[in-house]
């Protein structure tokens, strides 16, 4: 994104520590870039340590105040707890971005029960564990922002990603429940990305093709036929929406699910 087109002041989040999960690529990576441009001290999390270190160097090269890697497998709850405890020794985290790639695509009836557990661990279990650990520090600091990157499937299930639909719906209900319970100074909201130009979408098309027999071009054409703007969403567009929800001035927005989908959803 060109500097002149960036809509937020470069010190809008100065002094805030932001933990971005799934930040080595795709939407999470774009959010980390946006947060850094807005002045936040970013901690980027994923399983790929080498990619994180390289990305931190890039962020510092573009002028980030601080960028630190946090290699973490979100399926391992014990390690998540240990890593977050260590992270909090340096002070509170003010911003949490819960963002994890979804499971493989395919019809829900083809999903084995054993596939549910690791998927739920990466998504709901990890988000709940991290959120519970960060909330006390957010409350003490007097401000907290939690944004969950989910999917438009929480409102309108998408064909052939049944397990993902199930996970995303659970995340949305979890988030809405927390929006009624969290301290007044902490907001929690969801971003619902539509069909976004990421490696995850390409992998999803391949997975659906293998499990349904449809060709990848057929799958992609079906997706584009659902989007009035006629193109994939740029991850940077999603990142800007997430950044907006994290601003100190966005404290009145709470319990919202904001779609960034190019008009795909038909619901009001």
Tell me how far apart the alpha carbons of residues 152 and 155 are, in angstroms, rounded to a whole number.
Answer: 6
Q: What is the pLDDT of residue 226?
A: 86
Q: What is the pLDDT of residue 51?
A: 95
Beta-strand ranges (E) seen in the chain are: 17-21, 41-46, 66-71, 95-98, 144-149, 186-193, 257-260
The residue among 27, 26, 61, 59 whose CA lies nearest residue 43 is 59
Domains of the chain: 8-260 (3.40.50.720)
Q: What is the pLDDT of residue 203?
A: 83
Mean pLDDT per 10-residue segment, the chain (268 residues): 70 97 96 97 96 97 97 96 98 98 89 95 97 99 99 92 95 98 99 90 84 88 88 94 98 98 92
Sign of torsion over alpha carbons 33, 35, 38, 43: negative
Determine how many CB atoms are found less than 10 A away from the CB of residue 260: 22
- CB-CB contact of 130 with 84 (8 Å): yes
Q: What is the pLDDT of residue 159?
A: 87
Tell me how far apart the alpha carbons of residues 200 and 101 are, in angstroms, rounded to a whole number.
Answer: 7
Cβ neighbors of 193 (< 8 A, separation 6 or more) are 27, 149, 150, 151, 152, 233, 238, 260, 261
Q: What is the pLDDT of residue 3?
A: 46
Global pTM exceeds 0.75: yes
Q: What is the pLDDT of residue 2?
A: 46
Q: What is the pLDDT of residue 4?
A: 52
């Amino acid at each position: 994104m060109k500097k002149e087109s960036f809509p937020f002041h470069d010190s809008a989040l100065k002094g805030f520590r932001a933990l971005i999960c799934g930040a080595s690529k795709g939407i999470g990576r774009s959010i980390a870039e946006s947060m850094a441009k807005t002045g936040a001290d970013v901690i980027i999390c994923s399983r790929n340590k080498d990619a994180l270190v390289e990305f931190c160097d890039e962020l510092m090269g573009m002028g980030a105040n601080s960028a630190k890697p946090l290699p973490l497998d979100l399926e391992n709850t014990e390690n998540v707890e240990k890593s977050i405890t260590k992270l909090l020794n340096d002070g509170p985290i003010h911003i949490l971005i819960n963002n994890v790639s979804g499971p493989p695509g395919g019809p829900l009836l083809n999903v084995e029960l054993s596939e549910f557990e690791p998927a739920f661990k990466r998504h709901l279990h990890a988000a709940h564990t991290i959120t519970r650990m960060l909330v006390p520090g957010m409350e003490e600091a007097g401000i907290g922002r939690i944004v969950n990157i989910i999917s438009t499937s929480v409102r309108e299930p998408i064909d052939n990603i049944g397990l993902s639909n199930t996970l995303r719906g659970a995340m949305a209900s979890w988030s809405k429940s927390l929006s009624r319970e969290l301290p007044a100074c902490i907001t929690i909201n969801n971003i619902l990305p539509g069909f976004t130009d990421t490696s995850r979408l390409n992998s999803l098309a391949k997975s659906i093709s293998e499990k349904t027999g449809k060709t990848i071009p057929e799958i992609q054409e079906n997706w584009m036929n659902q989007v009035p703007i006629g193109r994939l969403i740029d991850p940077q567009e999603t990142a800007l929406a997430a950044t907006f929800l994290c601003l100190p001035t966005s404290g009145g927005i709470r319990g919202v699910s904001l779609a960034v989908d190019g008009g795909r959803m038909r619901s009001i």
